[in-house]
Amino acid sequence: MTDSRPDTEGVQPLDPAQLGAYFVLMEAVSLLQYQVEQQLRAEGGITYVQFQLLARLAHVQGPLTMTELADGVVYSRSGLTYQAGLLEKAGLITRGPSPDDERATAVTVTDDGRELVDRVLPGHVQVTRRLLFDPLTDDDLHHLGDIMTRVRDHMRARPPRSAAPRKGGAAPPGRVVTGRFMIGHVPAVPGLPPADSW
């Protein structure tokens, strides 16, 4: 009988402290994300990914390209295109050719999209504060922010997904941006930490 288990030779296993930290982080993120999703669906009829797209668009001056949105949201290209299509169909965003690059699609939030963000944001802030920030001291928050920023920056040091070659060829010239491009251009959302700490 052939052993179908993956070959783990040469792979250093996680020690108990690493394993514990990994599991508690993933559980906390899952619990927070579930409650955030529930609130956004109940108050706005949107998903968290749709909220991310709308909030980012609502807090910048002018349109963003789909590539810029993709680099600021952890989501597949095809999935992001699908979500943008749903938002456009609902009248919350518009899409069209970018004036700066004819190969790019520019995305702009509509007045209805801004109104929806304004409507769901207070509840979003309440859920986030109650679940994530209420049990923390100011010192805890400072340390958590430092640690997660370091981890996030380490993860984003890899090339962004928009720079990865598409099936059947390389990424189009002029479309490679840094993983932090979008984040560096998004002002803080009122009541939430800066966008680069989301």
- The pLDDT tens digits of the residues spanning 146-194 come to 999 999 999 888 875 555 555 554 433 333 333 322 222 333 434 444 4
Instruction: Name the average pLDDT for the chain.
Output: 81
Running along the chain, 198 residues long, what does each successive block of 10 average in pLDDT?
A: 60 94 97 97 95 94 88 81 94 92 91 97 97 97 96 84 51 33 33 41
**What percentage of the chain's residues is helix, strand, coil (to nearest 5)?**
55, 5, 35
Chain-centre distance for alpha carbon 38:
17
Query: In sequence order, what E strands does the chain have?
Result: 64-65, 93-97, 105-109
Cβ-proximal residues to 191 (8 Å cutoff; 6+ apart), any chain? 121, 122, 125
- Report pLDDT for 196: 41
- Report pLDDT for 100: 83
Show the tokens assigned to 109: 């939030």
**Global model pTM greater than 0.75:** no
- Report pLDDT for 157: 87
- Report pLDDT for 74: 76
- Report pLDDT for 55: 94
- Report pLDDT for 138: 97
